Amino acid sequence: MLLLAGCVEPYVPEVAPGEASLLVVDGYINSVGVSTIRLSRAVQLQTTKSAPVEAHAKVFIEEEGGAQYPLTESQPGTYTSAALTLPAGRPVRLHFTTAGQREYVSDYTSVKVTPPIDSLSWRTTADGLQVYVNTHDDSNLNRHYRWTFDETWEFTSMLKSVLEYRKGQITYRTDNIYNCWASESPGTIRMSNTTKLEKNIVSEQPIVLLPYRTPKLSIKYSVLVKQYALTPEEYAYWEALRKNTESIGSLYDPLPTQLTGNVHSVADPSEPVLGFIGAQSVIEKRLFIDRKQLPSDWPFVTGYETCTLDTIPRPHDPEPPSPQEVLNFFSTGAAIPIFEYQPNTNIFYYSTPECVDCRKRGTNVKPSFWP
């Protein structure tokens, strides 16, 4: 056993300098709505900096033998179109020229119409709360599917602060730092196909698993699921990407494979480019889960379990700080007053901003879709 363990060594792949700055094309052509395309460059594995963006490019969507639709740079490296309606089955592609005057195109792909999401469901399991998606396509035009999801949850800080330090004094608080909402858009790849099924039905496809002790379910949780119909070629690309990013790490996992997308350099078709541009409509459906819907034995977890509460001055302190020293204590912002120990005692409960100000973990602006 010791000899076998000694044979395991970390593997660091050699990457040629040119491959470390590969062009990365991220996005899709939304046939009914706004398309967003992000252009960036790949970075070395050991790099901690964010990937550099490919700014000031000229980007447009074009129909085969037809119209062109420009995309504008909404922020560096991110390009958005106007709301479009592209005919189903029409071949379209992405066409862009970088600031360095290198021209790229994606392969033409026929616009697909994504079928509706029938429902989103959930149930508790031994591992947590599992959310599922259900869909079908009676036309049998779509057999390959991908899903993404955005999470939002409501939460509160450890305690509600009714006091604040402002302009050299302790006064009643006027802003809300107790009720907040947080959001997350995981990059998890969720896919399924019905090619081996008699009926084109996707039943209870797992989308997201919420751990048993997650703070996301302390009050109310919402997940917005987006469904995409894919061509077999686009599905194969995403499946290879999923295996490369999620199924590598153990002895029996598949080896990484070279990703081959559908974006090419016009001047040098052999230049590797990362990304696959598909064209489809996108279907969305939102699910809400309220704390009251969970089993009675579901643990109540807030994420503030390690927070502590203290007072200044401490009751019965033989040498309490002066009133001015108390104000100085709060003036640094390292502690937030919560409420008074007893009326007119000038003894204040306090804790750290991370425990009292919910904006450290989210926003106090209620989302427009929240009930």
Residue 80 pLDDT > 80, yes or no?
yes
Q: What is the DSSP string of 268-296?
A: -TTS-EE----EE-EEEEEEEEEGGGS-T
Instruction: Kindly tell me the sign of the dihedral angle through the C-alpha atoms of 127, 285, 223, 25.
Output: positive
Task: Kindly report the pTM of this predicted structure.
Answer: 0.89
Cα-based angle 57, 60, 63 (whole degrees, multiple of 5): 155
Would you identify the CATH topology of the domain 18-111+249-277? Immunoglobulin-like (2.60.40)
Tokens of residue 188, six digits = 């998890």
pLDDT tens profile 253-306? 454 556 779 999 999 999 999 999 999 999 999 999 999 999 999 999 999 999
Residue 12's pLDDT is 53
Contacts of 91 (CB under 8 A, 6+ apart): 63, 64, 108, 109, 110, 111
The per-residue DSSP string of 55-107 comes to -S-EEEEEETTS-EEEEEEEETTEEEPPPEEPPTT-EEEEEEE-TT--EEEEP
pLDDT band of residue 4 (cuts 50, 70, 90) is very low
The Cα 344–Cα 364 span in angstroms is 30
Domain spans, the chain? 18-111+249-277, 310-360
Higher pLDDT: 106 or 346? It is 106
What ranges in the chain are assigned the alpha helix state H?
A: 2-6, 232-246, 323-331, 353-356
Each residue of 208-256: pLDDT tens digit? Answer: 999 999 999 999 999 999 999 999 999 999 999 998 887 655 444 454 5
Output the average pLDDT for the chain: 92
Q: What are phi and psi of 95, to 5 degrees?
A: -135, 125
Structure confidence at residue 51 (pLDDT): 81
> Is the pLDDT score of 3 beyond 60?
no
Q: Is the pLDDT of residue 345 over 90?
A: no
Percent of the chain at pLDDT exceeding 70: 90
Banded model confidence at residue 5, pLDDT cuts 50, 70, 90: very low
